Structure 1
Amino acid sequence: MNPGELLIIGGAEEKCVDGDVLNVFFELSKKNQGGIGILPTASKIPDEVSSVYVKTFNKLGTERVIVLDVDSRDRADASDIVETVSSLSAVFITGGDQSRLAEIIGGTKLYSILHEKWKAGMVIAGTSAGASIMARQMIVAASMKQDDDKLDIEMGTGFGFLDNLIIDQHFSQRARFDRLLSAIAENPEIIGIGIDENTAILVKDGVFEVIGEHQVLVIDGKSNEFIEIKEAENGSEELTISGFHLHTLTHGYSFDLSNRKIILKKENGK
C-alpha cells in the first residue's frame, strides 16, 4: 500500500463545516472507518484546542473522534496510545510549539506507529506547529535581537514524513520570508515551502496541491549560481544569492517536488 496523504496547513484554518481545508481532511479520513485522532501535544492548552476540533469533526459527520492525550515521553510510549493510533484512519496534529512535539514524541513508540500507519495509508494532517513538524528539518524559532538587529534562526529535527523540505507556516501573515530564505541559503539542496493561514498543501506521491484561501511560496536554491553568507558588524547574516527559483501558487495549482516544477491547471486536468 502507498503512504497516505499529508495535509499540511499554514495555521488559522476555518474551523467550521464550510471550511475548505478541514473538509478536505474529513473527506480523506472517510477512506477507512477508524475515525480521527486529535494530537494536541504541541499546545499548552490541549483540552481547549482539542475541543474545537472534536466539535468541528463531529459536525462534519465523524462518529469517532479520539483525543490522544500525550504530554510526556512516557505517554508517547504507552501501549494504550499505540493501540488507539493503530485503530485510526487519520490523525490531526494541532498547533503550538513544534519543539515540544519533537521533544515529547520523537523516537518514541507513538512516533514509530505514526510512521508505520502512514506508510500503510493513514492520512496525517498538521496545522501551524503540526505543519512544521512534518519535514525532517524544521525551523524551531527565529528572533531578532533588539540590541543588534541580528536575526537568529534555530533549526531542529521534525518527524520526517517528508525529506528535503523545510516548511514554514503563518507565512505572509507573520512576514517569514527572510527566515525561510536564510534557512534555504544555508541548505540550498532543500526546498523551502511557506504556507499562508487558512491555506494548505495536500501531498501525495511526490506532488502537492494547494487548497484554501491564500497562497503558498516555494523557494528552490538547488540550481543556484552564487551564494555568499557574510556576518555583518552587528552579527547578523547578510546574503548575496543568485539563481534561486521562486514560485507562488494559489488554490488548485500543484507542484512536482521531484522535478521542482509547477504543474499548471491545464496540465492536471483542471
Structure 2
Amino acid sequence: MIRFKQVFDFYIRSSIHVALSVYALVRMTHFMFRLPADEPMANFAFLGTIVGYNFVKYDALVRVKKKQMRNELKLIALLSFFSLVGVSYYFFQLQFVTQMVSVAFLVLTLLYTLPFFPNRKNARNWAGVKIYIVSLCWVGVTLALPLVNAHADLGADFYLKCIQRFILIFVLILIFEILDLANDDPHLKTVPQQIGAKRTKALGLLLLLPFYFLEFLKTNFIEKQLIVNLVLVVAISSFLLFANEKRSKYYTSFWVESIPIFWWLMVVFF
C-alpha cells in the first residue's frame, strides 16, 4: 500500500508544489493589475515550471545513470513528458510576443543547466550568480509574461512590482541557501557562504522593508493589500529567523515554497 509520505515526497520532488507557487504568483499578477483571469497563461507557467525545474534537477542524473533510474524518477520523467505536451499546447494559445519572451527565458533556463561554453560549468555553478538568475526567471514568468500577454501598459507600477517581486524571491532563496550552507559547494559563493548566516538573515529582513513600503508608491494602491503584505512579511521574517542547517528538508521544500500560495489565498479570501 502506498503510504502518504511517499505520495507527499513525490508531490515535492516532482516540482508540483513549486509549480503551484508559480501559478499563484501569476494569478496574483492578474489581480494586482486588475486583469481578467488568463488560464492559458497560468497553466503555461504551471506546467512550464514542472518541466523546467525537473530538467534542472534531474537532467544530469538521468543522463549519467539511465540504467539505474528508480521508479519514482521514472514517474517524474513521465509527469515531465505530459507536462511538456501540455505546455506546448498552451504555448500556442499565447500572444506571439509572449511566445518570444518565453523562449528567451527558456534559453536562460538552458544556460542555467547546460554547459554551453567549452571548459565552463553551467550558470548554476557560476560563483554568486544562481540567486540572481532564479529570481530574474521568476519575475519574468510570474509578472512580465502575464502582462505582456494581456497587452497591459508597462508603466511605473510594473517596474515597482518587478522590484518587489524580485526582492520576494531573493529573500525566499536566502532561506534555502541558509539551510544548504553545510552541503553547498564552497565555490558557489552563495550569500550565506560569503557573509554568514546571521548577516544573511539581517540582509533578508532589511530587504523586506522596501518590499513592503514600495506598495505605497503604486498608482493602483489597494489599502487591503497593505494588511495582506504585512502578514506576508511577518511570515517570511519568521521563516528567515528560524532557518538553520538542522531544519528538515520540508522546511523549505514545502513550507517556504508555500508562501506565494499563502499570499494568493489571502488575496482570494480577504
TM-score by length of 2: 0.29
Highest relative contact order (Cα 8 Å, sep 6+), 1 or 2? 2
**Larger proportion of helix:** 2
**Larger proportion of strand:** 1
TM-score by length of 1: 0.29
